[in-house]
Structure 1
């Protein structure tokens, strides 16, 4: 079997400097800031504990700034993660779950305030955006299926 490891997600931004400040402020490790010329720049960040990174920059894609949605950041304790981001000056939604209980609907449709009943893994979320509007979801996962 071939292993496919998700390594990088490219996030479109309008202002690389503003994005760089934001991701540093929320505790992502800056791995590289490469500038080839005025039209090409790559800034690579890795969230704490993650094997997958993000890249922001200039001349690295054609997507509209802020057009990425639902990038999941998995955390063991969503209350702690939410408080950490708030302490770092990020506007984060209250914790919620989806009324269907399987996966969250688009936008804020069918959000129910609070933890999913019984607080099982994968059921509780909080959302925030970067300065360009790229959307993130904190998702609490405390137990995984074998083989993960």
Structure 2
């Protein structure tokens, strides 16, 4: 049985502000549908992704900014970071984890997604190991995104 992740719902406080942010980040606008005063659904798809995000009004009861650890896989962490910055998105510095593959915990709402500087080493992984280099950013509500560099996916992926 295949189970394919299709959509992630992001809680936001201002739909128009969030729409502008994701458009600026280069996400493809798929839908902006209004069905009355209390319901609006906006769907975006990140470039190259099969999974989309939905935000809007009346689509979730979750607190704005509470979605964390949303990973975007990129081929070149420094290039992806530079492109987002060029689009006006504030992105943290590239880092890797001192202990290995997966960076330490996180705190909601931080642009520098992760447990402060605990376990972080500035710059990409020294060997540019797949799954080893990160950069982070947040949308205007604090929903936390992580860029992760992967050139060759693990077998079976």
1:133 paired with 2:133, answer: no
1:20 paired with 2:19, answer: yes
Match of 2:71 in 1: 72
Alpha-carbon distance, 1:70 to partner: 1.0
Alpha-carbon distance, 1:132 to partner: 0.5
Do 1:101 and 1:116's aligned partners in 2 also have CA atoms closer than 8 Å? no
Residues in 1 aligned to 2:98 and 2:37: alpha-carbon distance in whole angstroms: 47
Residues in 2 aligned to 1:131 and 1:78: alpha-carbon distance in whole angstroms: 22
1:111 paired with 2:110, answer: no
TM-score by length of 1: 0.96
Residues in 1 aligned to 2:102 and 2:80: alpha-carbon distance in whole angstroms: 20
Residues in 1 aligned to 2:8 and 2:21: alpha-carbon distance in whole angstroms: 16
TM-score by length of 2: 0.91
Residues in 1 aligned to 2:71 and 2:156: alpha-carbon distance in whole angstroms: 20
Match of 2:89 in 1: 90
Match of 1:8 in 2: 7
1:65-96 deviation digits (Å, cap 9, x = unpaired): 00111100000011110000000111101100
Q: Which runs of 4+ in 1 moved over 3 A?
A: none
Residues in 1 aligned to 2:86 and 2:132: alpha-carbon distance in whole angstroms: 24
Residues in 2 aligned to 1:45 and 1:31: alpha-carbon distance in whole angstroms: 5
How large is the RMSD of aligned CA atoms in angstroms? 0.8
Alpha-carbon distance, 1:146 to partner: 2.5
Helix, strand or coil at the partner of 1:37: coil
Residues in 1 aligned to 2:154 and 2:147: alpha-carbon distance in whole angstroms: 19
Helix, strand or coil at the partner of 2:82: helix
**Aligned residues between the structures:** 147
